[in-house]
Amino acid sequence: MRFVSYVAACALIAAGTCGGWKLGHANGVQGRIDKDSLSATAKSQTAGNSMLMLAVPLSRDQALAVMKARHDGMGSIGDAGKAIHRSLGPTPDLPALRANSQKLVLLSRAASRWFPAGTGPDVAKTRAKPEIWQNAEDFAAKLRNFQAAAQAFDSAARGNDVAAMNARFADLNGTCKACHDKYRAEEKH
Amino acid sequence: MRVWDVPVRLVHWLLALLIGFSWWSVHHHHTDWHIWSGCAVLTLLVFRILWGFVGSSTARFSSFVPGPRSLRNYWSGRWSGIGHNPLGALSVLALLGAVVIQVGLGLISQDEDGIYMGPLARLVSSDTSDRARDIHALWFNVILALIVLHLAAIIFYRLRGRKLTLAMITGRAAIGPGIEPMRSGRWWVALICFGTAIGITRWVIAGIPPFSP
């Protein structure tokens, strides 16, 4: 009976965490890429190592634009990852694999511009947790690991050693997961 | 007298445990454990369905799947017997069906990052896998509702003096005079069913060759 009540408790908690019906985009912000937001992006780039620190705070429009770019970019990274996983199947599709691994490298580099301070959940709906900016150094290190792993996978993908591709892909997935487990909030359904 | 055999009780409690574990693991970044848990649930389901045809009398679908007449009889208090009563049988079938659908959805799902794929995800497009994952997450609410109903029914019977949970643990319950007792299934038939369930699960994990791409 105690076990049954445990399951019931789990069930009720789960019911609580699953709100309304919402499929697809977790990030509902309608951002615009305009001149201002681009200059904000440029500022964040020039900040180099301390990419998460901005001397001048972002305006709301700039923040929304960055968050939109981040949401779309992360979606594209996910799509590339899924495509790579599928083309690494029993009969690897190397041309598709290489196209997506290149895309992934470019996206991983762009990701350096996606997390300026002031683009957290207090600004607009996002799954990026506030911890990103509280642990800025750890986050930046994890982002660099991801970028290096994307590069390493791309190098493997250019060769013909499928076992190496699988190994680098597993490494790459590890770097996605390391960050997402810690810094990404759960998808709301 | 015995009313539930060991396989029925084991399947019941393992299913409860694995549903709880599946929920916990997927919410704690253990998607790999979640997938293995789903495969274990698949094994239980296949076993239970087979046992529903060749198992003990109270385990067999033929003994408990109700028709409209037995439901009417039960409603007006004219049903007597052991095992699932006609109304409870509907709940059992709904739960089993909902879990079958949930496992089916999970098998063709992929995660949002392209890290994990269900064993049968390659049989469908990437978009279909994503949609299956969304429905899989929402479908859990259906299972949850059925579990709540199940628990509510147990509490309802308990208030009227019937201890159903104890019978599902010990397998024993007092049965009235003149009611036909449970006919036990054979242990080696259970073993064959279990072996078959493992075999089918392994085949599914392999991507159901030769249909896998």
Over residues A116-163, the pLDDT tens digits come to 999 999 999 999 999 999 999 999 999 999 999 999 999 999 999 999
At residue B120, the pLDDT reads 97
At residue A52, the pLDDT reads 54
The Cα of A10 is separated from the nearest Cα of chain B by a number of Å equal to: 7
Alpha-carbon span B94 to B84, nearest angstrom: 13
Q: Residue B10, class by beta-carbon neighbours within 10 Å (0-12 exposed, 13-18 middle, 19+ buried)? A: middle
Could you tell me how many CB contacts below 8 A there are between chain A and chain B? Answer: 85
3-state secondary structure A94-132: HHHHHHHHHHHHHHHHHHHHCCCCCCCCCCCCCCECCHH
- CA atoms A161, A164, A166, A172: torsion sign: negative
How much helix, strand and coil, in percent to the nearest 5, is found in chain B?
70, 0, 30
3-state secondary structure B144-183: HHHHHHHHHHHHHHHHCCCCHHHHHHHCECCCCCCCCCCC
CB-based contact A18 B110, cutoff 8 Å: no
| Element housing A43 (H / E) | helix A35-46
CA A17 to chain centre: 22
Q: Which residues of chain B have pLDDT under 50?
A: none
At residue B167, the pLDDT reads 94
The Cα of B29 is separated from the nearest Cα of chain A by a number of Å equal to: 6
CA nearest to B168 within chain A: A1
Q: Which residues of B fall below an 8 Å CB-CB distance to A?
A: 13, 16-17, 19-20, 23-24, 27, 29, 110, 112-115, 117, 122, 126, 129-130, 134, 137-138, 140-141, 144, 147-148, 151, 154, 165, 212-213
Residue A11, pLDDT above cutoff 70 = no
The Cα of A15 is separated from the nearest Cα of chain B by a number of Å equal to: 7
This prediction's pTM: 0.84
Query: ipTM of this predicted complex?
Result: 0.86
CB-based contact B27 A186, cutoff 8 Å: yes
